[in-house]
């Protein structure tokens, strides 16, 4: 009798296989999230509409009043703008990642996953990978819109692909911040609000929409050392688009390296914190 009791009370078996098992589990969770996304097409649709609205509004409402490189030519500003819009789009997907994880927590799905013999970080990794796939789709559509409004690349396709790679890496890094927020709140609504409230200062106190040299003197170093600014500047360099005024800040002098370093550091820090939080809240 006691043997049966001990067997029934035993915890769920843990997955073996190390990294290989973790990768397989993550891909299974990513596939599950992608299937769910296809069954809720309005989520994808709204995710596409928002960046298109930003392109149109900033290009045609503010374009004629912005000075880039000493000119107010709207076409110059549109080429300057698009790197910022691309970066804003990949980072705003963070709110969706947080809300999705919070929803899974609220419905008890995470507890069900925990009872299975799978890698502990797979649930979060799978979710962030699924969000990355959705971001790729959004970026594809946004690129077409950007070409229609006059944006062009001038440094060749390989460098342009490198720029998009940096953008997706930044979006993936920020999705781990969203994952941590989603695990730290009680409802999807709170996760959405918490995922957006910090993104606005990050994206607007940057070189995405205006030259940082036009900001208040105390804001300029914040904007120049902003991880978001580094990626935007790197993309402008790789796209061959108009850039901001020269700055002595290291990230602006070496934007590609700065973008890579910032993204890797963010992933390392916030993935560790998110997985640790995941283990504690599901115990």
Q: Is the pLDDT of residue 283 over 60?
A: no
Three-state SS at 68: strand
What is the structure's pLDDT at 1? 43
d(CA 267, CA 278): 16
Q: What are phi and psi of 71, to 5 degrees?
A: -130, 150
Q: Flag whether pLDDT at 189 surpasses 60.
A: yes
Alpha carbon distance 221, 67 (integer Å): 20
Mean pLDDT, to the nearest integer, of 244-267?
A: 91
pTM of the entire predicted model: 0.85
10 confidence band (pLDDT: 50, 70, 90): very low
Check pLDDT > 90 for residue 22: no
Q: How many CB atoms lie within 10 A of CB 122?
A: 23
More confident residue, 238 or 278: 238
For residue range 131-182, list pLDDT tens digits in order: 888 889 889 989 998 998 889 898 899 999 999 999 999 999 999 998 888 8
Residue 108 C-alpha from the chain's centroid:
25
Q: Which pLDDT tens digit goes with each residue over 45-86?
A: 777 788 888 888 887 777 666 767 666 677 788 888 899 999
Q: Any bridge partners for residue 71, and if so which?
A: 68
């Amino acid at each position: 009798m006691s043997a049966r009791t001990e067997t029934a009370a035993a915890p769920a078996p843990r997955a073996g296989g190390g990294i290989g098992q973790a990768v397989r589990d993550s891909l299974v969770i990513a596939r599950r999230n992608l299937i769910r996304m296809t069954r809720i097409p309005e989520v994808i649709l709204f995710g596409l509409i928002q960046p298109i609205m930003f392109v149109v509004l900033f290009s045609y409402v503010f374009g004629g009043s912005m000075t880039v490189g000493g000119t107010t030519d709207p076409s110059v500003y549109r080429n300057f703008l698009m790197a910022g819009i691309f970066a804003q789009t990949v980072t705003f997907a963070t709110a969706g990642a947080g809300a999705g994880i919070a929803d899974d927590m609220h419905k008890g799905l995470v507890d069900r996953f925990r009872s299975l013999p799978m890698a502990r970080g797979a649930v979060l990794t799978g979710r962030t990978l699924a969000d990355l796939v959705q971001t790729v789709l959004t970026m594809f559509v946004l690129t077409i819109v950007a070409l229609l409004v006059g944006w062009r690349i001038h440094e060749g396709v390989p460098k342009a692909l490198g720029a998009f790679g940096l953008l997706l890496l930044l979006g993936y890094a920020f999705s781990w911040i969203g994952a941590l927020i989603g695990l730290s709140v009680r409802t999807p609504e709170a996760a959405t609000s918490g995922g957006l409230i910090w993104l606005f200062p990050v994206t607007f106190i940057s070189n995405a929409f205006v030259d940082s040299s036009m900001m208040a003197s105390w804001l300029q170093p914040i904007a120049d050392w902003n991880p978001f600014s580094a990626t935007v500047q790197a993309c402008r360099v790789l796209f061959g688009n108009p850039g901001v005024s020269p700055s002595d800040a290291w990230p602006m002098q070496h934007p590609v390296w700065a973008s890579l370093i910032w993204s890797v550091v963010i992933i390392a820090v916030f993935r560790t914190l998110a997985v640790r939080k995941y283990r504690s809240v599901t115990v």
